[in-house]
Amino acid sequence: MTAALNDLRGKLAVYLEPAEVDRIEAAYHFGAAAHDGQFRSSGEPYISHPLAVASTLSDWRLDAQALMAALLHDVMEDTAISKQEIAERFGKPTAELVDAVSKIGRLEGQSYEEAQAENFRKMLLAMARDVRVILIKLADRLHNIQTLGTFRPDKRRRVARETLDIYAPIANRLGLNTLSRDLQELSFQNAQPMRYRVLEKALRNARGNRREGVSRITETLRRQLPLMGIEAEVMGREKHIYSIYRKMREKHLTFSQVFDIYGFRILVKDQPSCYLALGALHSIYKPVPGKFKDYIAIPKANGYQSLHTTLIGPYGTPVEIQIRTHEMHHIAESGVASHWLYKDEQTLGEFQQKTHKWLQSLLELQSTSGTSSEFLEHVKVDLFPGEVFVFTPQGKIIGLPRGATAVDFAYAVHTDIGNRCVACRINGEPKPLRTELRNGDQVEIICAAHANPNPGWLSYVKSSRARSQIRHFLKSRQSDESADLGAHLLAQSLQGFGLGLEAIDEATWERFMRGSGTQSKKDVLTDIGLGKRLPAIVARRLASEHESAAGMDELPAEKRKPLGPIIIHGGEGVVVQLAKCCRPLPGDPIIGIVRKGQGLTVHTSDCRSIGHARHESDNWIEVEWDPASSGSYETSVRIVAENRRGALARMTAAIAAADSDILNLQIDADPDVCTTLQFTLLVNSRVHLARIMRSLRHLPEVVRISRTRD
């Protein structure tokens, strides 16, 4: 341990004051005493782990507070040392960092996945406040995965999978590309050891076959670039095994089909030289069309900048080349750690702003996510972005995940624009909101003041911001609507006991909630609206509490008031739903059923799909249409028609003349007999539908017409 400590002191002496180095050594001795008698699974003293974490951080030249926290990062979790004691000895900032990286104790009945999600949420939120938290955690994970060899295979696979899913993507998102590659490589080695060994052997064999080609390209570039007036450093590099494996899996290739195992990196003095070098390379070797990417003009989300091009090498094999400046190289390899490594470089400003913006977005995700698991799901989506860059009408660049739609774009611009968007124009042409965006698209969002997010958007949005904001809006709206519906249902049930909802005082509600384990009156009403509680049972308990408090006897059944029906207006929202199976229209006889977690669903009285549920009498609710109900409703009409020229045109004209829109049309044609057409229409009532069907029935080619159900 003495040699490792001396090595750490040597690294620290290069950039820290002697007094700070002494404080860090004091933290080491404090941690060693706290962990005395504790050993890692390898048999080494436990303090060897915090020492290795601190050594990694010293390579990034982190400050004294972070290094002391690294040496003490497990004392709160694994020993009796308190946060207060650390604060008194080493300062409050160090204690805060130690607390941030300490795991939360697993609660009774909580699954491993739930506990891990809660720990990730704590870590990521702490990271948003202080990026040093995640740097300590990443260094901790690096040493843990380097020393996994003594663990059981199942634990090795679990830790490796967790690293590939969370820690390596976070390192990549923060621009720590070297660390991200190391974590991926070690995780792949532990998660799938057989595949790793096979690919490692294949790569070893390929080195001999391709060594001559690599040497020839390197010599050519080193000789030709200076002749063209370009000072450049040329480096050959071999792709990592995990990177090769991922390419084979994504593109369904065999190892022999992966040609770009070797690549080249060219470092030049400034940005103009990057483009000069690109032109020079294209004059030496022919470029592969469509394989050029300019990450200098439009950097990646993690601040990465380079020119990428693929050339046809001397033996006809493709060769990938990256061109960047020395400063870009520092950021590409060290990312957010460049803040400590290269404090004097002006080029870090924009990168730091991007990182800060992403970290702040985590706080926004947290505020709109219900559970830790949901928050982690949103973060995972954000950690695997593609590279789609689109433009606002004003020319501002917006980066989005690959596969993102116009809805993702709207939420990226502003939450209110996302919530109110109704249509879009892409490159000046009207397009559906679900249209997938491509690099270089110019997107304009059209908003309406009274528009709201559509639950269907969740099936195609790609960005975590859009997904979390849509869910947050729908949950808030559903909660309010559920509470309103619950109040309506409860009021109806209380009528049977001769009470109005206003007659139930706060004291009665308090007694009910204590007995039922709920937190608030709104929670009870929301549960009723969502079908999680039966209004009749809640009404009976409330009436009983009310009557006992007032010294009254329960109202006899014959004196209870009959329950009135719930009035359906047609625009209730996400809690009151019109059934898709029978598509009820205003004017249809209807009935409602309350199901757990689904709220109230309205069916036509003759709907065949509800026959099996007739025995659930407690769940059935009497409902009626509001005579003044308005709005548009989907319905389907089936037409059997003779095959005549212009028949379809006459049908669509008749539908349009009756003030209806056609949403969909399916045609099953038989050229020898008749054609069957299935129209999905928008109508405002049963009477409106009857008028449409009457006008269609008068057409000479129509043989038969009927309203259809799913």
The answer on pLDDT for 442 being more than 50 is: yes
pLDDT digits (tens, 9 = 90+) for 202-234: 888 877 666 677 788 888 888 888 988 889 999
1-193 and 194-338 have identical folds = no
Q: What is the pLDDT of residue 344?
A: 46
CB 584, CB 635: distance < 8 Å: no
Q: What is the pLDDT of residue 695?
A: 92
Q: Which residues contact 386 (CB under 8 A, 6 or more apart)?
A: 401, 402, 403
Q: What is the pLDDT of residue 345?
A: 46
CA 109, CA 614: separation in Å to the nearest integer?
37
Q: What is the pLDDT of residue 410?
A: 93
Out of 182-191, 400-409, 508-517, 630-639, pick the least confident: 508-517
Q: Sketch the domain layout of the chain as residue ranges.
A: 1-193, 194-338, 473-551, 566-625, 633-708
Out of 34-48, 370-384, 511-525, 638-652, pick the least confident: 370-384
Please compute the mean of the pLDDT values over residues 29-50 and round it to a whole number: 86
Is 675 in a helix, a strand, or coil?
Answer: strand
Q: What is the pLDDT of residue 384?
A: 54
Q: What are phi and psi of 226, to 5 degrees?
A: -60, -35
The answer on pLDDT for 131 being more than 90 is: no
CB 437, CB 405: distance < 8 Å: yes
pLDDT digits (tens, 9 = 90+) for 528-568: 776 667 676 677 778 777 766 655 544 454 444 444 577 77
Please compute the mean of the pLDDT values over residues 26-54 and round it to a whole number: 87
Q: What is the pLDDT of residue 169?
A: 83
Q: Which residues are catalytic?
A: 77-78
Please compute the mean of the pLDDT values over residues 293-305 and round it to a whole number: 83
DSSP letter, residue 520: -
The answer on pLDDT for 337 being more than 80 is: no
Q: What is the pLDDT of residue 266?
A: 93
Work out the pLDDT band at 46, boundaries 50, 70, 90: confident
- The CATH architecture annotation of domain 1-193 reads Orthogonal Bundle (1.10)
Domain at 633-708: CATH code:
3.30.70.260
Q: What are phi and psi of 665, to 5 degrees?
A: -145, 125
The answer on pLDDT for 93 being more than 80 is: yes
Work out the pLDDT band at 278, boundaries 50, 70, 90: very high
Q: What CATH class does 194-338 carry? A: alpha beta
Q: Which residue type is seen at 163?
A: T
Mean pLDDT, the chain, integer: 80
User: Which residue has better confidence, 338 or 627?
Assistant: 627
